Amino acid sequence: MSEKSKSLVGGISVLGLAGMICKVVGVLYRIPLADYIGGEGLGIYSKVYTAYNMMLTLFTVGIPVAISRMVSHYVTRHDPRNARRVFGIAAPALAVMGFLGTLLLILGSGYLSRRVGTPETRLGYIAIAPSVVLVCVMSAFRGYMQGHRRMLPTAISQLIEQVGKVFVALPLAVLGMKRGGPGMGAAGTLLGTSMAEAVALAYMVFAKARGRAAFDAMEQADIPPESRRAIGKRLLYISIPITLGGCIVPLASLIDSFMITQLMERGGMESAEALVRYGLYSGMVLTLINVPTALAMAMSTNLVPDIASGVARGDSDYVARESRTGLRVAAVVGFPCSIGMSLLARPILYLCYGSSGRYTPVQLDVAAELLTVSALTIVLFTMVQATSGILQGAGKQRIPMYTLLAGVICKVTLNYTLIGIPSVNIHGAPIASLVCYTVSMAPNLYFVAKYAAGRIPWKTVALRPLLAALPMGAAVWALWRFVFTDRCLHLGRARLLLAVIACVAVGVVLYAVLAVAVGAVEKEDIPAKIRRKIWR
């Protein structure tokens, strides 16, 4: 593997590890949060956060990726002056858009709360509004750093966001519950999120200032500076399709927040129960799904500047090699996460949320059934993110937009069809998501082969990781089914924790051994110190 390939895997490792830690902290944070504000509070929180995430995606998906890609292009050509000009144009634009988004969320809080059918969400929209401008500005700094292949500042800022939520948002949630019930508790949580984003932004400003000397010392080729207008046009040309594509999935989630509870009510379910079930799905299941998908996001973030640098040099062999590496890593991560979480859905749900007494066994079993199906989307989402990153880096950013749009149309159609059926209700949502990502993934893979990877070696990319994951899944299933059994669900959190840890540990070790044995993981993917101990 080339040094550049090692850089790709290393970059994925840095952001992926930080992302995993953040998601684990997020899950651990959601456990007491769910205990404090209950299913109704989780439903309120999820409805507000979905709208916020949609607005944030609108402003912070396309331009930061464009910054990363353009900065990587200029750095590859030894042109740091134009790289700095990209940041100088994009950062103020993001600040203005973020301010308008914050203002819009505050002024539109009443309208949004009426549209989602939950008046208690109004304070939550106001509490989360400052995060829009803060994250917009921070995303400019992240894109600039990532363009220089500096992933650590982004990783640290993500950790600051999550840790801040634990130490600020949870106390505010408790205070809000005491003062005004679930609606106020959710608003306190969201206000804590805004405060955590402010601290993370302050760190990114510091990190950029600290690295300025290294950036300024870069070799400057004899290249004339581009006009601000030309750079601005390129930013828009690259970012608009990425923004539109990035908005599609959050838009689908926003539509879910509007339609899922109403469809269940139309099917005969009481409104309170419909809100609780939506809270179980969005607040518990999707939170757990987001833990392993952090690696997918890290992969996409690294692939964009990596592929863009190869395109800038005109090195098609490098682009093909890195594209195949990205697809292989996506499969190596996605298959075991999907299979393992699906098989251990029930013990994981009971471990995280079963000891508080706030949720009934029926509610936990519903959430476990949802997670069993939803976990299968992990490998699909991972591949969609990897292929999207490759295509964006290769200058084909419109393709992921169209494929995701096709997938989301299928998702919304299936949601409308399935959730309104009383015997299906909320269980239609994960089925629709499976179809959504499958429809998006298939054409993405075709276009990655056409424009970047060449002929994809499916034996290496998909078959070997699957061959390693299936025996791992069988071992985990047998261990839980015949050794621990469902009796552990009711023997206390400590015993259940030990059982889950044992199953996960066996799965991880077995998968690692099998992945190396069948060639799914190559020796060069493993850090040198560990590699020397294994292959002496």
Q: Per residue in 122-164, pLDDT tens? A: 888 898 899 999 999 998 898 888 777 777 788 788 888 888 7
Q: For the chain, how long is the longest CA-to-CA vector?
A: 71
- Check residue 24 and give its pLDDT: 65
The mean per-residue pLDDT over the stretch 450-458 comes to: 86
**Phi, psi (degrees; rounded to nearest 5) at 227:** -70, 155
Burial class (CB in 10 A: 0-12, 13-18, 19+), 400: buried
245-257 residue pLDDT tens: 666 666 677 677 6
Choose among 387, 534, 505, 363: nearest CA to 446. Answer: 387
Choose among 138, 74, 83, 130: nearest CA to 106. Answer: 130
The mean per-residue pLDDT over the stretch 216-223 comes to: 62
In this structure, of 303-317, 419-433, 477-491, the range with the lowest mean pLDDT score is 303-317
The mean per-residue pLDDT over the stretch 269-273 comes to: 80
Q: Residues of the chain with pLDDT > 90: what percent?
A: 17
Cα(346)–Cα(364) distance, rounded to whole angstroms?
Answer: 8
End-to-end CA distance of the chain: 19
Both tokens assigned to 312: 């800038």
- The pLDDT-based confidence of 108 (bands split at 50, 70, 90) is confident
- Check residue 506 and give its pLDDT: 94
Q: Can you state the angle between helices 493-518 and 316-343, rounded to 10 degrees?
A: 150
Q: Above 90 in pLDDT, residue 189?
A: no
Q: Above 50 in pLDDT, residue 4?
A: no
- Check residue 214 and give its pLDDT: 63
Angle at 195 (CA atoms; ends 36, 353), nearest 5 degrees: 25
- Check residue 227 and give its pLDDT: 80
Break the chain into its structural domains and give their ranges: 3-456
Q: Above 70 in pLDDT, residue 523?
A: no
Burial class (CB in 10 A: 0-12, 13-18, 19+), 532: exposed
In this structure, of 29-38, 61-70, 390-399, 459-468, the range with the lowest mean pLDDT score is 29-38
The mean per-residue pLDDT over the stretch 64-74 comes to: 81
- The pLDDT-based confidence of 2 (bands split at 50, 70, 90) is very low
Choose among 235, 229, 286, 249: nearest CA to 91. Answer: 235
- Check residue 11 and give its pLDDT: 47
Cα(440)–Cα(443) distance, rounded to whole angstroms?
Answer: 6
Q: Above 60 in pLDDT, residue 8?
A: no
Choose among 65, 29, 264: nearest CA to 162. Answer: 29
pTM: 0.70
- Check residue 249 and give its pLDDT: 66
